[in-house]
Amino acid sequence: MIKAPKFTLRFEKDRDLPEGDDRLFSESFVTNHEPIEKVVVRHLDNRTGHVIEIASGTGQHAVNFAQQLPQLTWWPSDIQDHHIKSIASWQQQSGLPNLNTPIYLDVTQDDWGLGTPGHPSSEDIVAIFCSNLLHIAPWNVSLGLLSGARRYLTPDGLLIVYGAFSVDGSHVSQSNIAFDRSLRNQNPEFGVRDTAVIQKEAEKCDLDLSEIIPMPSNNFMLILKKQS
């Protein structure tokens, strides 16, 4: 069996930061956060409750969304210790009352630990957000994300997923073909996921793929709604 690397995205730390400031910085956040923000805010600005962000990475998205959506309580999460440290530093620096301390969350586990101390309640989860994860993780991560959305989202709650996807079995660009090949060369369990396959598995989890939104750089935002 080929051992999977822990992560493929590399984030950088500003060397000028003082000791104890563990914030990491992502160039892709600077490039992509505005179009992502527009879609997320449009779908969540009329909702109240709790949002879980899966694989928050640096924590920059979490700060941005907590600023833009003050009526929502944002819960960042990750499984990488250095990411959790970075998210915590961003959270502390922000001082935002609706942005919580990051939690360790492995979506492949049947129990996400919701309702335990330091975690959100298992009720009133109106959305789950995930960015740039599914293609750099084994397929069981995609299945775990969908299964968790079924268990924890409120009726009509949203699972919002951003990243690279093929559509109905076809890649949308030559660059995505090359990207998919490079991912699978790193690890055969990685790869650009297909929207039709996601839709089929989502339906098993009482989720409707209601929108496939084209985004810059040949990416997409998938909006999946839990059946009421």
pLDDT at 6: 38
Per residue in 124-141, pLDDT (tens digit) is: 999 999 999 999 999 999
In the chain, how many domains are there?
A: 1
Q: Is 196 part of any domain?
A: yes
Q: Is 173 part of any domain?
A: yes
Per residue in 29-82, pLDDT (tens digit) is: 888 889 999 999 999 999 999 999 999 999 999 999 999 999 999 999 999 999
Q: Is 42 part of any domain?
A: yes
- Give the angle subtended at the CA of 41 by the CAs of 63 and 52, to the nearest 5°: 55
5: pLDDT strictly greater than 50: no
Neighbours of 100 (CB within 10 A): 21
Per residue in 129-179, pLDDT (tens digit) is: 999 999 999 999 999 999 999 999 999 999 999 999 999 999 999 999 999
Q: Is 83 part of any domain?
A: yes
pLDDT at 110: 94
Band of residue 22 on the pLDDT scale cut at 50, 70, 90:
confident
Q: Is 9 part of any domain?
A: no
- Of 170, 174, 175, 136, give the one whose Cα is nearest residue 55: 136
Q: Is 108 part of any domain?
A: yes
3-state helix, strand, coil in the chain (%, to 5): 35, 25, 35
- Of 227, 187, 181, 182, give the one whose Cα is nearest residue 208: 227
Across 13-42, average pLDDT: 82
- CATH code assigned at 28: 3.40.50.150
pLDDT at 155: 96
pLDDT at 13: 56
pLDDT at 70: 98
The helices-and-strands tally (H runs, E runs) of the chain is 6, 11
By residue range, what is the domain housing residue 203? Answer: 22-226
Per residue in 77-116, pLDDT (tens digit) is: 999 999 999 999 999 999 999 999 999 999 999 999 999 9
pLDDT at 11: 55
Band of residue 18 on the pLDDT scale cut at 50, 70, 90:
low
Band of residue 1 on the pLDDT scale cut at 50, 70, 90:
very low
Q: Is 138 part of any domain?
A: yes
Q: Where are the beta strands (DSSP E) in 44-183?
A: 49-54, 72-78, 103-104, 125-131, 153-163, 165-166
pTM: 0.91
Q: Is 74 part of any domain?
A: yes
